[in-house]
Amino acid sequence: MVKLRMITFSIIGLGNRGSVYADGLMKQKDVKITAVCDICPESLKKAKDVYCVPEGNLFLSDDTFFEKKRADILIVSTMDEYHKDHAIRGMELGYDILLEKPVAPTMEECLAILEAGKKYGRDIVICHNLRYTPFYQEMKRLLAGGTIGDVVSVEQSENVAYHHYMCSFIRGKWRKQEETSSIVLQKCCHDLDIITWFAGNLKNEISSFGDLRFYKKENAPENCADMCMKCKVKDCSYNAYEFYAKAPGSLCVPYGFAFTEENLRRYLSDRNNRYGKCAFLSDNDVCDRQSVNIRYENGVTASLLLHGFANETDRITKVYGTKGCVYGEFNRGIVSVDLFDGTSFSVNVNDKISSDAHNGGDIKLTEDYVEYKKTGKRPLGISKIEDSVKSHELAFSAESSRIARGKLDEPKKLSFDFPVTATGVYFYGADFLKAGKCGELQIISISANINENNLQSKVASDLCYAAQLVQSDLLRYCVNVSAQSYIHGFVDLYFKNGVLLRYALACAPLKEYTEIRFYGTRGTIFCFTKDNTVRLRSTALFEAETTHVIETESVCKAETYPDAIEKIVREIRQEKLSF
């Protein structure tokens, strides 16, 4: 690869993501943005005003833009369906490509871009910005250094804030799968890339289920209007004006928009503006919940849980290895390690996190990419296009599995008269849930490290506890458990009323613990046995989290189990793969 001094960039697609990369490039030395193409005149004005692009190099037409090469590197940040065309046309002219994720909306188009890179000898890097965050880079360093030994299981959760989901996937550009791509590709290609980065590119089996269950017409408030500005329902968490007035930075507006109350009301009253539409009466069709289970040929298990009901967007990652476990919550910026020899430590990466989007990932991406182009040396986060396509293949396979399971199975009847003893955080978590502290329950995530001698009773009791709270028949389930090194894996349950439960289990030689997270339409409830606390978070903007320290011991015990749960437990003991 030729090493460059002054590096020049052309950008096609100067929307949100294109602007993020342009902002990052403007902070680098010996870098210049020389040309921009976008269909919006406001974006071209921004390119001229903010990025100092000459007026003669601003283009509304992609055909005119591609008449000749205008820089060393082309950033492609247009909508998904144009990625293949724009990336290949750029490579034909001799551009190296920095391509916004996803690579493309179909596997065929991804492979076409990959092959074009080989044909024209061009370098293609995908903007997997999570790889560049201090949080995930620290995790990768620990894994690569052998701190927890060989990876045996990866647990990943993408908890999308309801307001982010509302803006992007109900009212925004990514609300319709046919026009862009599935949410597991569009939103979770980051997470599947992290799983692939940690677990490796091995042959795998994959299973997924999920659906759009809540953000739809039948759940709309009574007598609501199709536009929020005309609606008489005043206590709706999804009211566009109430939300954007309090958090104006989250609204997509044209360059130069003056954020006044009058302008906001006018903007959201425009019937041609989808950002003012009722969250339940839009034309969205992407999932609001989905689980993905992956079993690799070497016995490694992995799971991804996605939903749109968190109070704030956050990712939770836990990786078990042959020597220990590394885990953390993305937004907290602390990576923790528990080793089997009794050693524990944490790394605080908050001082390395800049204030930009993706917890420092966006600015680090541009820094590392420029360094890569100047030196020819590949920094830690820079991925190869082959790896990106491989992780995208997981998304396509997951969506195919989800669609294949679209015809609902015959519900498995669950009786709810079996006794469950629940004390400590189990009792108070259930009590808060029944009191409506998180609204209508949508998602349950349970993560537990279990003494193998108690595996059957522990899993069965936890599942009975959850089923008592869900109070619905079971539509389907998935068991993905391996005994490679020690028993580990995942069980997913999908209930008739739409509640999705992901149960992550491990029998690692560490202290036993259970973490339960309930996500509902008005808040979240977190129950942790490690510190015996229950935490409540409301979806109300800027409302502080409250923590309740529970004095009584946390115990969950069921003496008898419904047949469906007993069958699941048997399959876990048999290490069965029931996809």
In a domain, 368, yes or no: no
Other CB atoms within 10 A of residue 25 CB = 23
Other CB atoms within 10 A of residue 31 CB = 20
Are 396 and 425 in a shared domain?
no
CB 162 within 8 A of CB 310: yes
Are 180 and 206 in a shared domain?
yes
Q: Which structure tokens are listed for 382?
A: 């820079």
Are 249 and 320 in a shared domain?
no
Q: Could you give the CA distance from residue 450 to residue 508 in angstroms, rounded to a whole number?
A: 7
Determine the number of helices (DSSP H) and then strands (DSSP E) in the chain.
16, 25
Q: pLDDT tens digits, residue range 491-528?
A: 999 999 999 999 999 999 999 999 999 999 999 999 99
Task: Write down the H helix ranges in 96-157.
Answer: 107-120, 134-144
Are 270 and 311 in a shared domain?
no
In a domain, 540, yes or no: yes
Q: Could you give the CA distance from residue 115 to residue 538 in angstroms, rounded to a whole number?
A: 48
Are 345 and 254 in a shared domain?
no
Examine the fold and report which residue of 65, 97, 127 is the final residue of a domain before the chain moves on. Answer: 127
**Three-state SS for 542?**
coil
What radius of gyration do the chain's Cα atoms show?
24
What CATH number is given to the structural domain containing 52? 3.40.50.720
Are 91 and 21 in a shared domain?
yes
Q: Could you give the CA distance from residue 229 to residue 239 in angstroms, rounded to a whole number?
A: 8
Are 44 and 82 in a shared domain?
yes
- Low-confidence residues of the chain, pLDDT below 70? 1-4, 248-249, 354-359, 406-412, 415-416, 541-542, 576-579
In a domain, 138, yes or no: no
In a domain, 193, yes or no: yes
The boundaries of the domain holding residue 487 are 420-578
Q: Which structure tokens are listed for 451?
A: 């003494």
Predicted local confidence at residue 289, as pLDDT? 98
Its pTM stands at 0.93
Q: Could you give the CA distance from residue 108 to residue 547 in angstroms, rounded to a whole number?
A: 49
Are 253 and 395 in a shared domain?
no
Are 429 and 555 in a shared domain?
yes
Give kind and range of the element (H or E) at residue 468: helix 455-470
Are 204 and 231 in a shared domain?
no
In a domain, 410, yes or no: no
Judged by phi (left if over 0) then psi (alpha if -120 to 50, else beta), residue 78 lies in: beta
Number of domain units in the chain: 4
Q: Is the peptide bond before 102 cis (omega within 30 degrees of 0)?
A: yes
Q: Could you give the CA distance from residue 303 to residue 149 in angstroms, rounded to a whole number?
A: 20
Are 15 and 62 in a shared domain?
yes
DSSP code of residue 342:
S
3-state SS string over 16-50?
HHHHHHHHHHHCCCCEEEEEEECCCHHHHHHHHHH
Residues 6 or more apart whose CB falls under 8 angstroms from that of 258 comprise none
Q: Could you give the CA distance from residue 376 to residue 370 in angstroms, rounded to a whole number?
A: 10
Residues 6 or more apart whose CB falls under 8 angstroms from that of 217 comprise 280, 281
Exposure letters 129-146 (e unless 16+ CB within 10 A, then b): bbbbbbbbbbbbebbeee
In a domain, 363, yes or no: no
CA distances from 325 to 243, 314, 319, 348, 420 (A): 39, 20, 6, 16, 30
Predicted local confidence at residue 129, as pLDDT? 92
Q: Which structure tokens are listed for 345?
A: 């430590």
Are 235 and 210 in a shared domain?
no
Give kind and range of the element (H or E) at residue 390: helix 385-404
In a domain, 38, yes or no: yes
DSSP string, 412-434: BP----S-EEEETHHHHHHHHHH
What CATH number is given to the structural domain containing 516? 3.30.360.10
Triad 500, 506, 511: Cα angle to 5°: 120
In a domain, 209, yes or no: yes
Residues in the chain: 579
Triad 240, 209, 316: Cα angle to 5°: 65
Triad 343, 346, 349: Cα angle to 5°: 160
Q: Which structure tokens are listed for 77?
A: 């940040």
